Amino acid sequence: MIVRQLPNLITLARLVLAVGVFALMSHALQLEPGSAALRMTLQGAFWLWLVAVLSDTLDGWLARKHGWVSAFGRIADPVVDKVLTLGTLAYLTAGDAPGRILYARPDDLMQVVMPVWALVALLTREFLVTALRGYVESRGLAFPAERSGKLKLLLQSVFIGVAIGAASGVSAHLHLGWLEDIVRHPWSLAGIFWAMIALTVFSGGSYCLRAMQMLRGAGGSSAQR
């Protein structure tokens, strides 16, 4: 039945939304910093990105509630999540326009929202965990996601939302100027950034340790047989 494919259709729609976010972020790179056009473009990117993130919760809830879990969904859902999250973070490294927030001090070094080395660290973690999962599961062992990995994704989403939301002025647009003042403070975004990096390193290390323990145990079991 077509209704059973609803979670998968939502996942595919999230991929389309991700492309829309990337198109708007790419256009923002060509606009003059501080211009009204830039803020409107980033507001569009923010709302598309927010809908995409919320859709991830919706398709997971539908799949679990109604038992509409499929092999395609188990593979496609985390892939699309990584495309959306890492792709948006990549655009935050690409130039001054979407990648910097005007804090209280315009010359503050903490204006750099997403340094390239941080993106490399996040990509390395994802490739490493994906390779480990593939190898462990090829040995006939289950290698499910850990809670730290899910929390890492949540922090990445919060970081992206704060970065683009503050740069676009969306909080002021919603008459939440007090919130914009908070997120524009250098220490606010810096705190979220370093928490995201720390959790990325921790979760990557945790996956590596668990994979080593599982493979060692599997090797011992094979030797006993």
CA distance 67 to 78: 18
Distance of CA 33 to the CA centre of its chain: 25
Q: Are 48 and 111 a contacting pair, CB within 8 Å?
A: no
60's CB contacts (< 8 A; 6+ apart) are 7, 77
Name the E strands within 50-172.
Answer: none
| Tokens 């003059």 belong to residue | 32
Predicted pLDDT of residue 177: 61
Q: Which residues contact 171 (CB under 8 A, 6 or more apart)?
A: 165, 177, 179, 180, 183
* Cβ-contact 73, 63 below 8 angstroms: yes
The total domain count for the chain is 1
Query: What CA–CA distances, in Å, run from 175 to 44, 159, 180, 185?
Result: 17, 21, 10, 18
Q: What is the pTM of this model?
A: 0.81
Burial bucket for residue 61 (CB in 10 Å: 0-12, 13-18, 19+) = exposed
Q: What is the pLDDT along the chain (225 residues), one digit of tens a residue?
A: 666 677 788 889 999 999 999 999 999 888 877 788 888 998 999 999 999 999 888 877 777 776 766 766 677 888 899 999 999 999 888 755 444 443 333 344 334 578 888 899 999 999 999 899 889 988 888 888 788 888 998 999 988 888 888 778 787 666 666 666 666 666 777 888 899 999 999 999 999 999 999 888 766 555 455
Tokens at residue 172, please?
């002021």
What CATH number has the domain bearing residue 42? Answer: 1.20.120
Which of 124, 125, 131, 120 is closest to 211 using CA atoms?
Answer: 131
């676009």: which residue's tokens? Answer: 168
Domain that holds residue 34: 2-224
Instruction: Identify the sign of the CA torsion 20, 23, 27, 28.
Output: positive
